[in-house]
Amino acid sequence: MNTSVKIGNIEFKNPVTTASGTFGSGMEYAGFMDLSRLGAVTTKGVASVPWPGNPTPRIAETYGGMLNAIGLQNPGIDVFIRRDIPFLRQYDTRIIVNVVGKTIEDYCEVVERLADCDVDLLEINISCPNVKEGGIVFGQNAGRVEEITAEIKKRAKQPVIMKLSPNVTDITEMAKAAEAGGADALSLINTLTGMKIDVHRRTFALANKTGGLSGPAIKPVAVRMVYQTANAVKLPIIGMGGIRNAEDALEFIMAGATMVAVGTANFMCPTAACGVAEGIRQYMTAYGIEDINTLIGCVNDR
Amino acid sequence: MVTLENQTVVVQNTRIAEDIYSLWLQAPEIAQTAVPGQFISLYCRDGSRILPRPISICEIDRKTGRVRIVFRVVGKGTEEFSLLKSGDTIRVMGPLGNGFTFEGKKALLIGGGIGIPPMLELAKQLSCEKQVVLGYRDSTFMEEEFEPYGKVYLSTEDGSQGVKGNVLDAICYHQLKADIIYACGPIPMLRGIKEYAREHSIKAQLSLEERMACGIGACFACVCKSKEIDGHTNVKNKRICKDGPVFYAEEVEL
């Protein structure tokens, strides 16, 4: 049975990674599972300098989901290179580094610092809804998407994945812009901007007022956007949004995703990502599937 | 060592006051390593509630392999836990966080509201001289459980029992002295204790609370402001679930 997939010329032992921001750099989860069982670990976003993030409360549960407004807190690229990359290299898994910034120059600085590092791919976060500068500011305008993609591609040594926002009128426009800018792959979706109000206190549940909605509640939106995007561009897609088991993951793969990322489900159960990888194998056995690649985009009209 | 136990068995669940429940769980691995001040994460069965609920450990019984939590029903998740019956199973992760550090010769253990339960195991395990100050809004709970371990002083906001006011009013009224303070309760109470400890040059360990997601230090949801740059986060904040929930008062900004 072949569960390996490729993005560019990088091969992954299986199509399962983690969604940025839900898994740190894997350290906290390594006590619960062998990280080598994942196709890749996608790290929490890293910036050129440390970021302190937003005021608390930063999260709120919603029906079948959650809102977060962490604000991309991260220790900065120096600590990341010194501590997190050597940690992850102990495991037989691919490393996808999520990159954040406030300006194009910020993003490029991180990408240049990573050029000589032993990491496999870069995921560029142009879709975080919780920071005032950077993030989604780049991800909601096709011209800006193409521009930042091209600037990063000039400097990157590793394949570049652009992470797209669902908070747009037509996600395929952004996908095409990233493709035109030279992206090697796309990941989608980031969180949907949402809001929760505490009616007892008459306050916003989050200090940031708005936050990014994730979890099982958003999965149908994410599957739809992956399907649309897969039919609009030639780039491989990492699909994510509410995946908590193999059945969820297979929906994304059949919609056209080459890989899938498990995010909020890591909070629901710390071994969730491994469970998805194992569940995909079981599905393949049950249905006599020899090669996972035959499932990518295989959904048929009724 | 943190363990994830998908089938933790409920031994006993008792309502001990209005909206307050005492839950004993058969969790041998957690009981084996847990220390006072640590917490466990409990997962809901209802799929619409996706995040674990972090709840402080109230008692640890290594011999029988059981841990006890005492919680207040504040929403749908804790309401679900309140309905658990003996023999039911629940997914639990723990023990989590750092716990209290034993030190000093004369201790003040201060609990406010639902911050009272974690002080019980601490009172049992601390070997120094202990004074226990418990603060409530109105009706009291668990106060008699502390009596074997030290003199117990109460405060209630409505004055129905003990000193009228808050825990600091009770401490001042009884002129209690100590060289170490251990406290758990709402932030305004902890803020007052931090100030009191500073004025009186008493060391204070405070157990903090914040909305959590992962519970293991990965997601940075439950941070508190710290005085110095933290070694892990590389910014002036600390993860309550991993670096705490117990901090020295001077370490954190409340």
- The verdict on a CB contact (< 8 Å) between B213 and A32 is no
Q: What is the pTM of this model?
A: 0.95
Smallest Cα distance from A45 to chain B, Å: 11
Q: Is residue A36 part of a domain?
A: yes
Which residue's structure tokens are 């006599």?
A288
pLDDT at A134 (0 to 100) = 73
Question: For chain B, what is the mean pLDDT?
Answer: 97
Give the model confidence (pLDDT) of A236-291 as tens digits: 999 999 999 999 999 999 999 999 999 999 999 999 999 999 999 999 999 999 99
- Mutation pick from A268, A271, A274 vs chain B, by most beta carbons of B within 10 Å, is A268
The residue type of B89 is T
- The verdict on a CB contact (< 8 Å) between A66 and B235 is no
Every domain of chain B and the residues it spans: 3-96, 100-207, 209-247
pLDDT at B130 (0 to 100) = 97
Smallest Cα distance from B176 to chain A, Å: 34
Please tell me the total count of domains within chain A.
Answer: 1
Taking alpha carbons only, the member of B34, B33, B41, B37 closest to residue B206 is: B37
- The verdict on a CB contact (< 8 Å) between B4 and A59 is no
Q: Give φ, ψ of B224 to 5 degrees.
A: -125, 155
- The residue in chain A having the minimum alpha-carbon distance to the alpha carbon of residue B241 is A28
CATH 3.40.47.10 assigned to domain B209-247? The reply is no
Q: Does A30 touch chain B (CB under 8 A)?
A: no
pLDDT at A16 (0 to 100) = 98
- The verdict on a CB contact (< 8 Å) between B50 and A28 is no
Taking alpha carbons only, the member of B191, B200, B137 closest to residue B165 is: B137
Residues of A in contact with B215 (CB under 8 A): 267
Residues of A in contact with B234 (CB under 8 A): 50, 75-76, 79
pLDDT at A111 (0 to 100) = 98
Give the model confidence (pLDDT) of B125-147 as tens digits: 999 999 999 999 999 999 999 99
Q: Does A31 touch chain B (CB under 8 A)?
A: yes
Residue in A29, A73, A215 closest to B220 by CB? A73
Q: Does A203 touch chain B (CB under 8 A)?
A: no
For residue A101, pLDDT over 80 is answered with yes
Q: Judge whether B50 and A64 are in contact, CB under 8 Å.
A: yes
Q: Is residue A70 part of a domain?
A: no
Q: Is residue A256 part of a domain?
A: yes
Topology, domain B3-96? Elongation Factor Tu (Ef-tu); domain 3 (2.40.30)
Q: Judge whether B38 and B99 are in contact, CB under 8 Å.
A: yes
Own/partner long-range contacts of A247-253 (Cβ < 8 Å, ≥24 apart): A247/A279, A247/A283, A248/A216, A248/A219, A248/A276, A249/A15, A249/A16, A249/A276, A249/A279, A249/A280, A250/A280, A250/A283, A250/A295, A251/A219, A251/A223, A252/A222, A252/A223, A252/A226, A253/A15, A253/A292, A253/A295, A253/A296
Residues of B in contact with A58 (CB under 8 A): 211, 220-223
- The verdict on a CB contact (< 8 Å) between B49 and A66 is no
Residues of B in contact with A271 (CB under 8 A): 4
For residue A132, pLDDT over 80 is answered with no
> Which positions of A are catalytic?
128
Question: For chain A, what is the mean pLDDT?
Answer: 96
Give the model confidence (pLDDT) of A215-236 as tens digits: 999 999 999 999 999 999 999 9
pLDDT at A131 (0 to 100) = 77
Residues of A in contact with B237 (CB under 8 A): 52-53, 73
Smallest Cα distance from B220 to chain A, Å: 7
Instruction: Please state, in angstroms and as integers, the Cα–Cα distance from residue A160 to each residue in A43, A47, A207, A229, following that order.
Output: 14, 16, 33, 17
Residue in B50, B220, B223 closest to A61 by CB? B50
pLDDT at A302 (0 to 100) = 84
Q: Does B53 touch chain A (CB under 8 A)?
A: no
- The verdict on a CB contact (< 8 Å) between B1 and A31 is yes
- The residue in chain B having the minimum alpha-carbon distance to the alpha carbon of residue A242 is B50
Domain holding A41, by residue range, is: 5-46+81-191+215-295
Strands across the sheet with A259-262, in order?
A: A16-18, A259-262, A237-240, A185-188, A160-163, A121-125, A94-99, A40-42
pLDDT at B224 (0 to 100) = 97
- Mutation pick from B48, B187, B234 vs chain A, by most beta carbons of A within 10 Å, is B234
- The verdict on a CB contact (< 8 Å) between B220 and A75 is no
- pLDDT band with cut points at 50, 70 and 90 for residue A133: confident
Give the rounded percent of residues in chain A with a pLDDT score beyond 70: 100
Residues of B in contact with A274 (CB under 8 A): none
Q: Does B222 touch chain A (CB under 8 A)?
A: yes
- The verdict on a CB contact (< 8 Å) between B221 and A50 is no
Assign 3-state DSSP to chain A and report helix, strand, coil percentages, each to 5. 35, 20, 45
CB proximity under 8 Å: B 20-39 to A: none
For residue A130, pLDDT over 90 is answered with no
The arithmetic mean of pLDDT across residues A125-142, rounded, is 83
Tell me which DSSP letter residue A217 carries.
G
Q: Is residue A222 part of a domain?
A: yes
Give the model confidence (pLDDT) of B188-240 as tens digits: 999 999 999 999 999 999 999 999 999 999 999 999 999 999 999 999 999 99
pLDDT at B199 (0 to 100) = 96
The enclosing domain of A29 has a CATH number of: 3.20.20.70
CATH 3.40.50.80 assigned to domain B100-207? The reply is yes
